[in-house]
Amino acid sequence: MVAAPVRRLGRWTLRLLGALGLVVLAFFLAAWIGSAIPAGGALPAPAAGEEAVQIMVETNGTHTSIVVPVANAVKDWRQDFPSASLPRPDGHLPTHLSIGWGEREVFLHVPNWGELRPAAALRIATVGGEAMLRVSHDFHPAADADHRPLWISRAQYQRLVSAIERSLPMVPAGQQRAMFHGTYAADAYYTSNGTYTLANTCNTWVGAALAEAGVPMGWWTPLEGGVMKWIPLPPDPPA
């Protein structure tokens, strides 16, 4: 008498697992296809002799960020990020900022994915989460496979600045933007506009900002590889 209900429960469990597996497979397939479709509006690289700005696209294998100079003739990020004016733990003032976008609870309380609570993961996967910006403070970052440089025109950089600025909530005149501490002590965290979802991830944020600046990029880039496959590796240093 007990065997039949147990068998039915087992069948429903297998069906549920199968359905979840199909959803995951569909997500990765859609991400692969979406990142392979070029986003429209790519601008030409700066011409020879044209004043250009070097940025970088950074990856840790899962999460991508955009590395920008702390200040130049186009933008002074110290006006938006108070931490950019502070010395690093090694005493140097930062020359560059690595700006990434992500989910608030993960940025503030989850040092690695293995510590993400199942309830929080389910909430992010189903309804999304509040967004934050994470700002790392770099000192003359060197180009390598995880820090890939790009030269863009000043006009392109202005478009990139505008894309990033849209993620920053307005701050009342005379007040400083609030800074939070999170999982990485040397980084600063700031409230951001937007909602983090599986369709709108840290990597789609980076991809969309770069595409707006005219950098060749995929149409939808929810995964790290979908961004980085568009960014050339730097040349090997001379022997």
Residue 8 is predicted with a pLDDT of 66
In the three-class reduction of DSSP (H, G, I as helix; E, B as strand; rest coil), residue 193 is classed as strand
Residue 124: other Cβ atoms inside 10 A:
19
Please give the span between the terminal C-alpha atoms of the chain, in angstroms, as a whole number.
76
Give the mean pLDDT of the chain: 89
Dist CA 33 CA 11 (whole Å): 33
Residue 118 is predicted with a pLDDT of 79
Q: Where are the domains of the chain?
A: 52-228
Closest CA to 95 of 152, 138, 149: 138
Whether residue 43 contacts residue 205, with contact meaning beta carbons closer than 8 Å, is answered with: no
Please enumerate in sequence order all residues whose Cβ is within 8 A of that of 85, keeping only pairs 6 or more positions apart, or say none.
Answer: 78, 93
Residue 2 is predicted with a pLDDT of 53
Return the bridge partners of 66, or none.
57, 99
Q: For residue 78, report the phi and psi dihedrals to the nearest 5 degrees.
A: -65, -20
Note the pTM of the prediction, 2 decimals. 0.89
Low-confidence ranges of the chain (pLDDT < 50): 1
Q: Max alpha carbon distance in the chain (Å)?
A: 83
Q: What is the pLDDT of residues 7-23, one digit of tens each?
A: 666 666 666 566 666 76
Please give the distance of CA 47 from its chain centroid, rounded to a whole number. Answer: 28
Classify each residue of 132-158 as buried b or exposed e, where b means 16 or more C-beta atoms within 10 Å of its C-beta: bbbbbbbeebeeeeebbbbebbeebbe
Whether residue 182 contacts residue 134, with contact meaning beta carbons closer than 8 Å, is answered with: yes
Residue 17 is predicted with a pLDDT of 60
Whether residue 66 contacts residue 98, with contact meaning beta carbons closer than 8 Å, is answered with: yes
- Take residue 200 and report the two structure tokens written for it: 């709108």
Q: What is the pLDDT of residues 125-146, one digit of tens each?
A: 788 899 999 999 999 999 999 9
Residue 229: other Cβ atoms inside 10 A:
14
